[in-house]
Amino acid sequence: ANSVLSSYGTTIFEVMSRLAAEHGAVNLGQGFPEGLEPPVLLKSAARALLEDSQQYPSMMGTPALRRAVADHALRFHGLTVDPDREVMVTSGGTEALGDCLFGLIEPGDEVVLIEPLYDSYLPIVRRAGGIARLVRLEPPEWGLPREALAAAFSDKTKLMIINTPMNPTGKVFDADDLAFIASLLERHDAYCVCDEVYEHLIYDGRRHVPLIGLPGMRERCLRIGSAGKTFSVTGWKVGYVTACPALLQPVAKAHQYLTFATPPNLQQAVAEGLASPDSYYQGLAGGLQARRDKLANGLADIGFKVLPCYGSYFLTTDFRPLGFEGDDVEFCKHITVNAGVTAVPVSIFYQAGDVRHYARFCFAKKDEAIEEALRRLARFF
Ligand code: PMP
Ligand code: GLN
């Protein structure tokens, strides 16, 4: 059947993971962690599965998880959040994004998006009837082009989406970027969907600053988090949205009619997880930072030009110094099939096909997997 969505192929993450499995490749493509799941979280889930209810929890999320999300926002970001009126639990960050877009966009509304962009944004914006206004960040700096961003806003702008820390660039929007975005949102009376699923995956002593905490932004921003990223359990699909009641209301309606709820046992485990001591969060970021460095140094030794990564669990690399002639899609297939290591082409995060020589590697993997991938690539190039 023809629809806005029928023109989209299978997501690159699925395509590359399948190819990796077929060829026995070390999969540094699709972003999912290996070996980082906190054992206490798994124990909490097991207990909750055996002892707690198996039935529909409250639509907005269990009281325990909503309270934990609010407590976490205060503890890490100084945000005061009402757990009863300003938090909604979703089946992953992906559902949260969909709920925000379906809940807020009316046909003909304009939506400002920043490329490179996560693959679910654009199809859902379009399906909701939104008109995308794309603004490009260019490698290797990924700087925010202020004039282009300002020009993308109009009196038809309903909302913008930002992703910080950012997939696939590893960019962390700085205070100036955020203040500039806030000024545009105010000037154009627009909202911002803040995809902050990587909020705890941030390195070298940087701190994540939620846009919703800036002056005037409380009534304009919807902040999205994901237990999949914060606890390295991407298969659980537990996410959360935080927004003022007036903004959350239409978004909750999308959730009500799309999934209605999220497994209560997993919500309970995540609620307990969010209350983890600081050492958990520091260990997560510290462990990932060490893996980032191991992979970055190894790839650089092999000849890749490795771009800086300040957050998320992705490294972007320029493979031209290796002498490969084809584009990034060909390169990622080539190394999967012939070197036994999988990466993801960065061009899929853009609409126009002119950024063609960058490959993204995920470093949230066991040390042995990173070492094996580096050995294979070193042998091959
Ligand atoms: N946003 C971004 C930028 C992501 O990389 C991901 C990870 N897949 C998500 C949202 C979705 O998160 P979840 O797995 O919780 O649905
Ligand atoms: N966010 C993950 C990535 O960027 C993948 C999510 C998915 O496969 N849907 O690789």
Q: What is the pLDDT of residue 353?
A: 76
User: Is residue 322's pLDDT more than 90?
Assistant: yes
C-alpha of residue 56 to centroid of ligand 2, in Å:
27
Q: What is the pLDDT of residue 366?
A: 97
Joined together, the tokens standing for residue 277 give 């001591």
Substitution site in 16, 164, 167 for ligand 1 pocket (most atoms within 8 Å of beta carbon): 167
Share of the chain above pLDDT 70, in %: 100
The whole-number average pLDDT for the span 122-147 is 97
Which residue's CA is the nearest one to ligand 2's atom 8? 13
Q: Please give the ipTM for the structure prediction.
A: 0.97
Report residue 112: phi and psi, to 5°.
Answer: -90, 125
What's the pLDDT band for 2 if we cut at 50, 70, 90? Answer: confident
- pLDDT tens for 101-126 read 999 999 999 999 999 999 999 999 99
Substitution site in 19, 32, 196 for ligand 2 pocket (most atoms within 8 Å of beta carbon): 32
Q: Average pLDDT over the chain, rounded to whole?
A: 97
Joined together, the tokens standing for residue 86 give 């300003």
Q: What residues does CATH 3.40.640.10 cover in the chain? A: 39-276
Joined together, the tokens standing for residue 154 give 């109009």
- pLDDT tens for 23-42 read 999 999 999 999 999 999 99
Q: pTM for the whole thing? A: 0.98
- pLDDT tens for 349-370 read 999 878 999 999 999 999 999 9
- pLDDT tens for 276-292 read 999 999 999 999 999 99
- pLDDT tens for 171-185 read 999 999 999 999 999
User: Is residue 1's pLDDT more than 90?
Assistant: no
Q: What is 39-276's CATH number?
A: 3.40.640.10
Q: What residues does CATH 3.90.1150.10 cover in the chain? A: 4-30+279-380
What ranges in the chain are assigned the alpha helix state H? 12-22, 39-51, 63-77, 92-104, 121-127, 146-152, 175-187, 227-230, 245-258, 264-274, 278-302, 328-334, 367-380
Query: What kind of fold does domain 4-30+279-380 have according to CATH?
Result: Aspartate Aminotransferase, domain 1 (3.90.1150)
The whole-number average pLDDT for the span 82-91 is 98
Q: What is the pLDDT of residue 159?
A: 98
To 5 degrees, how large is the angle CA 160–CA 161–CA 162?
120
- pLDDT tens for 178-224 read 999 999 999 999 999 999 999 999 999 999 999 999 999 999 999 99
Q: Which residue has the tokens 């009316």?
A: 106
Q: What is the pLDDT of residue 354?
A: 85
The whole-number average pLDDT for the span 250-274 is 98
Residue 34 Ramachandran class (φ > 0 left, ψ -120 to 50 alpha, else beta): beta
Ligand 2 pocket at CB < 6 A: 11, 13, 30-31, 167
